Structure 1
C-alpha cells in the first residue's frame, strides 16, 4: 500500500474527532470529543478554579471555549437523586442533586459534577434541514482532571456508548431516531456523525460481543494479515472513537508490529521512550510517499476490515520526520480499536441488530450524513476516553 505524505495538523486536540453541539436557552455551542467508548455526555460547567479549559491557543489566535451554567439557561433542570437516570448510592436525600464521578483509563483523568437536563439542538439531514430540539440529561462537569486539562476533550465529551445515559440511547428513547448511528472518518480529517443511520445493504458487518458488566461496542477478531504474513489470532476488541490510537495486547501487538517491520524499506528510528510509538521510520527531505504492507483484520462472520492508513507522521526534536505504525502495546487488560484504524470508513453502530457495519467513504458524498462536521488534530498523542469499570 502506497501512502502519500500529507501536511499534519498542529493544534492541540489530542488527535480525536470533534463536533460542534448546541445546548441550552439561549444556545451555547461546545466543541465536544466524539466517544463511542463511554456513555456520559458531559460539558464543562460552573467550574471550580483550574478545573476547566476556558480557551485554547493556536498558532494564529486564541479560541474561547463556552462554559455551561444551569443558572444561565432558562430550560435547564437539575436531576434529583430519585430520578431513574440517577444510579448513585451516595445521595444525601431523594431531592438532592444527583452527583456523578467518572474516571477514565488515561492516568488521573476524570470528570466530576452533577446531572442536569437541558435542550440539545440538532438538525435533520434531509433537504429541509429542520431544527430538532430534544431534552437530554448530561453531566455538569464542575471538576475535570488529567488530560482533559491538557488538550484532549477540553470542551466536553459526547458519550455515544450503549447504556441508557448516552446520546444515541436518549434520541432513540425520545423517538427522534432509530437506535443506530454512524460515524464517518474521512482520510482528509473531515467527517460526519448521523443519528438514526442504519447503514446500507452492501456494508460489511460483524456482530457485537456485548459484556454484561459495563457493556461496550465489543467485536471479535479471528485473523490478522500483514502483507505476506497471516496469523489465526482470536480476541475481542472495543471500537472506541474516544481513543486516539489503537492499543492491543500480545500476541496481536507483537505479530502486527514485527510483521510490519519486516516488510518496510526505510531505516527504522532507534526506539526512544519519549516517542509515543515503538516502530518508526525515517523519511528523506524530498520523499512524497512511502510503501507499507497491507494490514487486514478478519472479523467474526468472515468479513475483512482493511486498514486504510495505520501510520502517523511524527517530527522529532532534532527535526527528523518519521512515519510510525500507529499502534500501542496495551498496558491494561483490554484491546481497543482506536480512531486511527477507522479512517476512510463510515462506521455504523447498529444497536437494533447489534452489529457493527463498515463501508468505504470519503464522507462528502455520503447520502446519509448530517451537518455535524468532525475533524482530527495532532499532537499531543494521547488515548483518553475509555472509562474504567465502575
Structure 2
C-alpha cells in the first residue's frame, strides 16, 4: 500500500492516482490484515458509478439476493481472483465456444478477452450494430463507429454467463468518443488478451457492487448506484479484543460524524490543446482512473 507523492507528465492534467492499495488474497494485503486482526469478515466489496467514482466496503459479504460464482485456483492455489465464464451473449445471440477464465481486476480500466472469444464476440457485435465503422486516432480499439448527438445508434447488449444460471449484464460495453461538436462516435471497449485468460476490467464492473468474498471463495455481484447506504454493520467476527469503533465512538465531540470517503475525479485544468490531444487526454482519464485499486496476484 502506498500513496502518490511526486507527479509529472500527464499526471499533472488531473489523472494522477492517489496511490495503490493491495487487495489480493495474499497475507499482506489490506483485507487480509483486517480479517486476521478480527476487525472484519474476510470479504470486501467495490462499487463504481457512471460518474467515475466509487466506494470500497471492508467486511461486506453482499446481499442475499446477489448472484455469485466461485473463485478458481491458479496452480492449485487461490493467488488471485479468477472466475470461469461459461459463455458470452450479444443481444439475443449466445455464442458457442466462448467459455474462458477471467481475472477480475479493478486496476485494469478496460476488458480483455482471449483472442478466439474476442473475435466471435466482436464480430457478432459488429453484425448487430447499425452504425458505420470508423477509426479514431489515439484510441486502441478495432471496432469503432461513427455517431452524433442527434443519432440514436443501436448498441447491442452484452452479457456474460456463469454456472448455476447466473449472468452478468454489461451496462455499457462501449466507450463514447467526443470532439468539438460533441459526440462523434463510439468504440466497443474490449481488446484481445495476450494469453488464454481474459481480464474483466473496471468498465464492465460499472453499475455493480462487486463482492470479493474470500471467506467463502466466491465473487458476488448486484446492481448498485454507489449511493450512501448502510451495506455492512461493523462487527467483531472473531471475538477480538480490538473491535471496530461504533458510530457513536467515531463521532468527534461537538461535531457531526464523518461520512465515508468517496473517490472522485480531480478537477481538470483548462487546456488549449487541439481536439485530437483533448480526445487522447479524455481517454487517459479512463485509462488511469483517479483511484487505482490494484488487485495484486501476489499480495
TM-score (norm 1): 0.58
Question: What is the aligned counterpart of 1:379 among 269, 283, 286?
Answer: 283
Cα drift, residue 323 of structure 1: 1.0
> Any unmatched runs of 5+ in structure 1?
1-40, 46-51, 64-150
Distance 1:352 1:318 in 2: 50
Select the structure with the greater relative contact order (CA < 8 A; seq sep ≥ 6).
2
Question: What is the aligned counterpart of 1:349 among 189, 206, 212?
Answer: 212
Alignment-derived partner of residue 100 in structure 2: 235
Cα drift, residue 215 of structure 1: 1.2
Alignment-derived partner of residue 281 in structure 1: 145
Change (3 A) 1:199 1:386: closer
Alignment-derived partner of residue 2 in structure 2: 42
Distance 1:152 1:214 in 2: 31
Change (3 A) 1:174 1:386: closer
The answer (yes or no) to whether the contact 1:282–1:320 under 8 Å persists in 2 is no
Change (3 A) 1:152 1:257: farther
The answer (yes or no) to whether the contact 1:210–1:218 under 8 Å persists in 2 is yes
Alignment-derived partner of residue 7 in structure 2: 53
From the two aligned structures, give the one with the greater strand fraction: 1
Distance 2:147 2:53 in 1: 26
Deviations 1:162-203 (A, max 9, x none): 111111111111111110011111223332210010101100
- Residue pairs, 1:54-203, within 5 angstroms: 56-58=11-13, 151=15, 153=17, 155-203=18-66
Distance 1:349 1:324 in 2: 29
> Any unmatched runs of 5+ in structure 2?
233-258, 267-281
Cα drift, residue 338 of structure 1: 0.2
Distance 2:287 2:226 in 1: 25
Question: What is the aligned counterpart of 2:184 among 306, 321, 334?
Answer: 321
Alignment-derived partner of residue 223 in structure 1: 87
Alignment-derived partner of residue 123 in structure 2: 258
Cα drift, residue 158 of structure 1: 1.1
Distance 2:16 2:121 in 1: 27
Alignment-derived partner of residue 337 in structure 1: 200
Distance 1:182 1:386 in 2: 12
Distance 2:223 2:265 in 1: 18
Distance 1:364 1:285 in 2: 29
Secondary structure in structure 1 of the residue aligned to 2:125? helix
The answer (yes or no) to whether the contact 1:193–1:374 under 8 Å persists in 2 is no
Secondary structure in structure 1 of the residue aligned to 2:106? coil
Distance 2:295 2:230 in 1: 30
Alignment-derived partner of residue 244 in structure 1: 109
Computed over aligned residues only, the root mean square deviation of the Cα atoms, in angstroms, reads 3.0
Deviations 1:301-359 (A, max 9, x none): 32011001111112469987221111111124531000000011111100111100100
Deviations 1:26-64 (A, max 9, x none): xxxxxxxxxxxxxxx23347xxxxxx4279534xxxx7x
Distance 2:210 2:101 in 1: 18
Change (3 A) 1:333 1:308: same
The alignment covers a number of residue pairs equal to: 250
Alignment-derived partner of residue 295 in structure 1: 158
TM-score (norm 2): 0.74
Secondary structure in structure 2 of the residue aligned to 1:251? helix
Distance 1:277 1:216 in 2: 27
Change (3 A) 1:152 1:250: farther
